[in-house]
Structures are given as structure tokens and as C-alpha cells.
A and B are shown apart, each in its own frame.
Chain A
């Protein structure tokens, strides 16, 4: 517990960077595709409109969305996000899973809403 508090404090100060793998453990996220869980997280972006995400999501961001089709993988690849997190347990198409495996795009899922998840990410120091 104490160690965890110290880690979170360091994270907030930008002293250490969290990897996708650690986030999965901390928030008990479902890993649908996790071929590159060592990617480092640089913050996050929430969006279901792909043009918006294309323009705003930055490399290393976590992308929180309800979209689960294969164009999500294309946008994730282009924006170089560290992981796509499908919120509210939305469905993900099989073709999207296949493509994500091919391109090593991390796809995670949670029953939480984007709002709830973002709150937890902030608590963990991911801003």
C-alpha cells in the first residue's frame, strides 16, 4: 500500500511512466489483444468520432471509445496510441480483433463508462 502511494506520487511528478501491462493489472481490464503491452502510456483521449480522434489523440495515449469495428484499428495505428480501451463492454468485431493482432495494437475492455474510467486513470496519475 505504502509502495503504491509512493509510486503514484512519482507517477504524478512524471518521474516514472506506466506501461499498458501495469494498467491492465491495476484496473483489472480485459485484454482482447495484448501483443505489445510494454508500450508506455502518455495520457488519454476519449472519442467515438474518428476524425476527432485522428486529429487529437497523441502517440502513447490511451484511447477510450465505444467503437469496436476495424477502422478503429486503422486510427489506432495512425495515431500510435498505446491501447484502445473499449468501454461499457461494447462489442468488438472479429475482423477488428484479427487486424489488431496483425498490427500489434492493444485492445482492452472494461464494463466502466468512459467517464468512470477516466476518473480512475486520473487517480492513477495518468493525465
Chain B
């Protein structure tokens, strides 16, 4: 079995109303496919953080989810503005979110840490003024 696309969705900048929709949809699909609940939980956390990142920090983008023998693979891509200092972005508590967004309980500087913690393989390509491309894998077993 090769990689099989199971979900594809565009994510709009600032669209807080739809925050969590991609991960809810993915959760439902994975459950139907009989994926173990602990794996679903990890995939839901990673997807939620990544979709919120696109909503909060990017100019918009999209997510594609595939299933392969390797695991559940999330591809998240946006159109910029890129992460200038990836090392900093991974520091717990570091955030560039506005006060307004923080008051809603986002932007606490934990998102990427959650992504790293709950994915089994993570690859991020980004830079100042560039699009950000993320590939995250959650193993099936």
C-alpha cells in the first residue's frame, strides 16, 4: 500500500470560527478506519496545533493528510510570512501572537512543542519571507 490521500482542506487566515474543524474531521475519519484511539489522539493534537498556527500566524494555507505504511502523514503548507527563527519558535513560552489572540487562550508558546511531542517525525521548511512547509508523521503503532 502506498500513500493514500484521506483529507484535504484549505485554511484561511484569521478564521478562528473554523479552528479545530480539520482535526475533528480527521478524528472522525481515523475512527472509521479503525485506527487506535491513542494514535487518533496524537494526530488530533498535532493537526489542531498546525491548523491553529495557519489561522493565527500565516497568510493562509492548507492541509493534506495521507495514510501510508509509515503512519498518518500531515502536510501543512502556507503562503508565508515564514518563521524567522525556528529555534526560538520551539522555545516553550516563546510567542509572537497578539494580546487579543492570547486572551483567547492561544499563542502561549506551546503549539510547536505539542507538535514535536506528539508527532513521531517532524520536518519543517521555513525562513523569513518564505512559505512554511511542514511534514509531520504519526506512527500507526
Q: Which of A's residues lie within 8 Å of B, judged by CB? A: 48-55, 65, 67, 69-72, 74-75, 77-78, 95
Contacts and interface: CB of A to CB of B under 8 A. Distances in A.
Nearest to A58: B41
Contact of A71 (B19, B27, B49): B19
Q: Place the interface of chain B in its size category.
A: 20 to 34
B20 A67 contact: no
Contact of B16 (A48, A52, A71): A71
Contact of A78 (B16, B23, B106, B111): B23
Mostly, the A contact residues are helix
Contacts, number: 58
Given A55-B45, A78-B44, A71 B110 contact: no
Contacts of A48: 105
Interface in B98-125: 104-106, 108, 110-111, 114, 117-118
Contacts of B118: 55
B107 to A, nearest CB: 9
B141 interface: no
Interface in B45-72: 45, 48-49, 52
B105 A71 contact: yes
A95 B27 contact: no
Given A51-B111, A53-B105, A74-B20, 4 more contacts: A55-B110, A65-B105, A71-B106, A75-B48
A89 B19 CA distance: 25
16 contacts: A48-B105, A50-B106, A52-B108, A53-B105, A55-B45, A55-B117, A55-B118, A69-B16, A70-B17, A74-B19, A74-B20, A74-B24, A74-B48, A78-B24, A78-B48, A95-B17
Given A51-B110, A55-B45, A78-B48, A71 B24 contact: no
Closest 8 CB pairs of A and B: A74-B20, A51-B110, A50-B105, A49-B108, A71-B19, A48-B105, A67-B105, A78-B44
Contact of A77 (B17, B20, B111): B20
B21 interface: yes
